[in-house]
Structures are given as C-alpha cells and as structure tokens.
Amino acid sequence: MTAPSDPSIVSSLAIGASVEEIARVSEWLNEMADGDDWPDRLRFGMELSVEEALANVISYGFAHVPHAPEIRIDYLHLPDTRVAVRIADNGTAFDPTAVVSPDMAEDVEGARIGGHGVRLMRHFLDDISYERADGENRLTLVARLGTAE
Amino acid sequence: MQIEREATGSDLVLKVSGRLDTPNAKPFEQSLLAAVAETSGRITVDLAGVDYVSSSGLRALLVAGKAMRAAKRELALRALQPQIREVFDISGFSTLFEIT
C-alpha cells in the first residue's frame, strides 16, 4: 500500500547515454514546465540542474560497467506545492551531493575546469538528495513551485 | 547555437546566440580556439543572444580564456542576460573575465 506522503510520478522518460539526448530531456522538461506553469526562474534552474546531473552520468557513469546503460528520468509532484525530477541510472555508484565544489578561483590561470555543476544545482534548487538502491544511482532534485520567484 | 564574427583591425567580436549547453559546448570551444589561433588582438564574446548556459559552456570559455592568457592577450565578455550573469556569479566566473 502506498503511504499518503509518497511522491506521485507524473511522467517518465528513458534516454540513452549520449550528450545528444540532453536536448530531448530539455524538450520533455519544457512540457512538464508548461503543464504546471513553472515560473521562469524554476524553468531555467531545473533545466540547468538536470543537465549538470545528466552530463556527469553520461560522461563518467558508464566508463567501467559491463552492462547496457539505462537512464530514466521521472517527474514527481510532492506535497506542499513542491516538484521533483528524479534521475535514476545503472552506472557506477556516484553521489554528486558529496562533491565538494572547488574554491572560487582568483584568475583564469588558477581556475579549475570542472566541479561547478554541483554549486549551480545547490543554488537553483531547494533540495538535492541521493540514494544508491537496487544497483541504481537515484538523484532527486526538488524545487518549490510557490516561492521560486 | 550560432556565432557571427566582426573583425576590426586585429580585434575580433564573436556574437554568440542560442544555447551554450553540453551538446553545443564542443563546437563552441572549437570556434573560440579557432578565433584565438586566427587573430592576434583582443577577443570579445558578445553573449546578448545567449539565453542559456550550463557549466559545459562556462568550461569552453575558460579553456579559451586560458589560451588567450597564455598568449598574453585578453578575452572579454559583454552583454550577459541576467540569468546568464547569475550563473557566472555563482560559479565564480564573473571575476575571471573582464565583463562589460
């Protein structure tokens, strides 16, 4: 039996492990945003966060796994006018929420090329949570519809 | 993504429009590095027509910025839309480039 607090899945999308698929995800996300009338700031912030998360999964998640890549994206309605996008993949275990963002660089020479995605996700989202279950990474990106300007 | 070039003497302005996302990041970086190699003066990237940037797009600009600095030249940015500016601010990139 489903507990009343369980999130409900509104829509799901399965994608392949290539960066070209990110364009298809953006289209799908736009449909979700239109359906629930997301504010502009949430549209931008969620699209950016999903892209940052997927770019990590696609670029690094399947380098050392023998099985076929599977990536699934769910859109969920949560209580208290919150929404979530959950990204599940069967790649190498990786918790992006445990990544320490690089220090702010002082000049171009010293600036690091990577590691900025997680900082952006934390800035634009209300919550990010990660779990490893059933051989999957599950990253849940949560935003509040009501307060997102 | 589209890039228009406007040359004035040895200086170059690159007017970029569209999305600087992960699928576009590699061609964007290649266009920037080609511009660095083909010119000898200052390069300004005009972002007025860019409505979306992710860290992949930032990375391409940083690679070009490093190449320019190694050649003792300046890469400047201009006309960032507010949300683009926010991404630069959060990533700490606003202080890495001259932005007008």
Give the ipTM of the model, two decimals please: 0.90
Q: Please give the DSSP secondary-structure letter assigned to residue A114.
A: S
Residues of B in contact with A106 (CB under 8 A): 95
Residue with the bigger pLDDT between B36 and A105: it is B36
Chain B residue closest in CA terms to A50: B54
Question: Structural domains in chain B?
Answer: 2-99 (3.30.750.24)
**Closest by CA position to A49, among listed A115, A125, A104, A110:** A125
pLDDT of residue A127: 96
B46-95 tens-digit pLDDT: 999 999 999 999 999 999 999 999 999 999 999 999 999 999 999 999 99
| Calpha distance B60→B20 (Å, rounded) | 9
Neighbours of A110 (CB within 10 A): 10
Report the length, in residues, of chain B: 100
Q: Residue A82 is inside which H or E element, if any?
A: strand A82-89
Residues of B in contact with A26 (CB under 8 A): 21
Q: Please give the DSSP secondary-structure letter assigned to residue A27.
A: H
Q: What angle do CA A85, B1, A149 make, to 5 degrees?
A: 40
pLDDT of residue A4: 44
Q: Are B9 and B41 in contact (CB under 8 A)?
A: yes
Question: Structural domains in chain A?
Answer: 8-103+116-144 (3.30.565.10)
A120-141 tens-digit pLDDT: 999 999 999 999 999 999 999 9
